[in-house]
Amino acid sequence: MTLNILFAANAQRWADYETHLHAALSDLGMIDYQLAEQIDPKDVDYIIYAPDSALQDFTPYVKSKAVLNLWAGVEAIVGNPTLHLPLARMVDPSMTQGMMEWVTGHCLRHHLGMDTHITATPGTWEPSAPPVTWDRKIAVLGMGALGAACARSLAALGFEVHGWSRSLKQIEGLITHHGPDGLRNALNGADGVVLLLPKTPETENTLNGDTLPFLAQGAFVLNPGRGPLIDDAALIEALNSGQIGHATLDVFRIEPLPQDDPYWRHPNVTVTPHIASETRPAYAAKIIAENIRRGEAGEPFLHLVDRNRGY
């Protein structure tokens, strides 16, 4: 019997993914299948999905076995009242690698004080070597696949890395904390903080006027996770006071970031346009194909979303 796989995303993503998905499915020995942007809902077995898709009512998909999200974030779909199917988020090794590179690069940039020399007036000669990584503490908030990978990369360079998550997570080789008290311990005296938490009501404004002062004076903030993790007004205030030395921000509550947003004009803020990492179709297609294989073999799906937690 033909397996019917609906690609429910925009036309550009179809152009990006079609060839890679066929190759990934073929590599797993799948031959008798239909992969298309239009399939009768009652016949669809799997839905490959992007939350900005026109498909918002899942009620007609009566025989579907799973929704396979193309994005790591699921906040735009997890609360859909018509969605009762298993939902798998995207955990793409190339996305993890890209995020690890972005976080590691910017941590080293701030640790080494690179901006001072890059923007220095020609002829300036003020030698001042930074401390070694052993003398720097960095807090990584969020110990999912992305956070754990970034924490390991930073720890491998010698940083004293403290990871934090809302619930207990023990990761070999890393110092981890959890819960409200653990958040203070992770942040206390940290020279930098990396935010890689999911966006949920519980994680909104994790960095705020109460938690920012836990950091060392002049600490840096990196946010490649979700815009709402930061209380923006509190961060601006901390930047103005010198409590935070620099913030490098890749995600925002409104994107693109409005031209009149104060982050654009602040001398101690670097804005990057949501490019810390992204899903690469060639690699993501393999994850999608593997989940379809698992579904057909009766095996557990990879990266299932916990509806109660929202991620």
Residues catalogued as catalytic:
226, 274
111: which residues sit within 8 A by CB, 6+ positions away? 130, 133, 136, 159, 191, 192
Spell out the long-range contacts of 15-21 with Cβ–Cβ below 8 A and sequence spacing 24 or more: 16/281, 17/48, 17/70, 17/281, 17/284, 17/285, 20/281, 20/282, 20/284, 20/285, 21/48, 21/285, 21/288, 21/289
Measure the N-to-C terminal CA separation of the chain; round to a whole number of Å.
Answer: 33
CB atoms within 10 A of CB 111: 21
- Determine the Cα–Cα distance for residues 53 and 79; give it in Å rounded to an integer: 15
Among candidate residues 299, 18, 250, 232, the one with its CA nearest the CA of residue 146: 250
Residue whose entry in the numeric block shows the structure tokens 């519980």 = 202
Among candidate residues 137, 199, 134, the one with its CA nearest the CA of residue 163: 137
